[in-house]
Structure 1
Amino acid sequence: MNIPDLGAGVTSNIAVSGLTGNAPSGLQVGVDIKHTYRGDLVIDLVAPDGSLYRLKNSSGSDSADNVIATYTVNASSEVANGTWKLQVRDVYSGDTGYIDSWKLVF
């Protein structure tokens, strides 16, 4: 999924079903985003109820390529089942990229 340069951003969905109760306090969010200037990116996890969990802020001094990381989120107040979203925005111009993959580990 391409990430527009200095655009509104993109959202990728994962539907979760078959779990009981809430998500864990140590929900792991693995992301693999290819981008030529990772400091341009703001990355949020969006819970099924619309709550936002900031995974990564932009940083004008982080000129390295790509975001390949696992973030831990305390999502224990969220129901586990539902559609979880990864929202990625490129907040500066001049570099491009795409979401290669992402996953949730409950």
Structure 2
Amino acid sequence: MTSNNMDHDGVGIHGVKTDSATVTEQPTMESLEAEKKKLKARLEEAREALTCRVCLDKPVAAVFMPCAHLNSCQACSMSLTLCPVCRSPIHYAAPAFID
């Protein structure tokens, strides 16, 4: 993050032990806004990764075998014979449950 001995664990910002003591500083508004922007970008990337690459609408729900790519919703997977990622033949589409 920054060089002010702060550590981020995905939940909050915590002080880091140094040679003499634990440094605990209040984050600035600018650092919080920057962290918020980074987290929003990561959330958007995760949403895109979990969206069907065929219809670009529904969540992914089928794992293609034998390549094991997870990139299609159940409805789109039924109409495909080749994996959209690697173009290998799809032997079957196993349901995937992401909670």
Please indicate, yes or no, whether the TM-score normalized by the shorter chain is above 0.5.
no
- Structure whose CA Rg is larger: 2
Q: Which has the higher contact order (CA 8 A, sep 6+)?
A: 1
**Higher percent of residues as strand:** 1
Which is helix-richer, 1 or 2?
2
Q: TM-score range by the shorter chain?
A: under 0.3
